[in-house]
Amino acid sequence: MYNPGREPYDSLQVPALPHPYNTTRQPKPMTTALPQPLRNVRVLSLALNLPGPAALMRCARMGAECTKLEPPPAPGYTSADPMGIYSPAAYATLHSGVRVAHAHLKTADGQAMLHAELARTDVLITSFRPSALAKLGLGWEALQARYPRLCLVRIVGAAGDRAEEPGHDLTYLADAGLVTGTEMPPTLYADMGGALMASEAVLQALMERAHSGSGVCMEVALADAAAWLAQPRDWGLTTPDGDVGGHHAGYCIYPCADGRVAVAALEPHFAASLCAAAGLPPVGDPQVLRAPATHAAIAAFLRTQTREQLDALAVAQDIPLHTLA
């Protein structure tokens, strides 16, 4: 039973475009409202922690009717999701607009509740290892046989044969070469990047179902998300000898008189304005901006400026920079 009469993706029909020289039609006014491409789509998630709930949050923001099944919470707790325990504020944000229900999936009652939800679901999001999904009767073959139009977005740590390996955001970043010292990364790049990929996979699955008529399984690996984010570094863009890795004097972080300043004057006209402010010839030639003497002159100038002065300079000279304490 798959939402009879309300499948927005059952038959995608592209409307005829107006004649390119037809000037009688007025353009629609711009709107700041978010588009709702997932309106009338039902998404069920069994995923805990961060990537799955973050993907579900994005689906809700795109108009989906979102439900999450969690294990029953322990006495004294409102959620069995680890995020709900160690960061209630994050949990509340992630689940805004999401209906949360509780079911023990290893019991008959829990299975009955799960399948009642699946019978009216368009997309299922999971974050279990493949072996755990199989034990719950949620392997792709079993799901497809029972719910032929159901789509599955399966979040795993690593793809293919590595899907059973344990891991977390930090290990996937390390594997991708994004842990370069002993300091912790400032955010959970693989988890949040994986959430973006999972919400994209929801859209991809529904588009494919519209063409084929059958549900599809999409696997999203957090290790792949980390590898995707690492590509600029792999290409040499952000390594020390890359222009956006500090080799170009217009794209660096410098100390200033009362803090720091992140300068992103990469394009020649921005770089020329920066050079002029520093008392250098106003040139934007990348070779000049890569020279040690240019780095030294700009650094010396910025060290004499307060954050307030630099903020004013950015506005007056149209230089992309951001001051930091």
Please state the separation of Cα 118 from the chain's center in Å.
26
117: three-class secondary structure by DSSP: helix
Q: For residue range 45-78, what is the model confidence (pLDDT) as tens digits?
A: 999 999 999 999 999 999 999 999 999 999 999 9
CA 81, CA 87: separation in Å to the nearest integer? 10
Q: What is the pLDDT of residues 290-318, one digit of tens each?
A: 999 999 999 999 999 999 999 999 999 99
Mean pLDDT of the residues in the chain: 92
The proportion of the chain whose per-residue pLDDT surpasses 70, expressed as a percent, equals: 91
Per-residue model confidence (pLDDT) at position 293: 98
What per-residue confidence (pLDDT) applies to 14? Answer: 40
Report the C-alpha gap between 42 and 66 in whole angstroms.
Answer: 6
Instruction: In whole angstroms, give the CA distance from residue 197 to residue 224.
Output: 9
Long-range contacts of 22-29 (CB under 8 A, 24+ apart): none
pLDDT tens across 200-228, in order? 999 999 999 999 999 999 999 999 999 99
Contacts within 8 Å (CB) and 24+ apart, 4-11: 6/40, 7/40, 8/39, 8/40, 8/41, 9/41, 9/206, 9/207, 9/209, 9/210, 10/210, 11/210
* C-alpha triplet 271, 289, 292: angle, nearest 5°: 140
pTM comes to 0.87
Q: Which residue has the higher pLDDT, 135 or 21?
A: 135
Q: Which residue has the tokens 């009955």?
A: 112
Domains and CATH numbers, the chain: 42-233 (3.40.50.10540), 243-324 (3.30.1540.10)
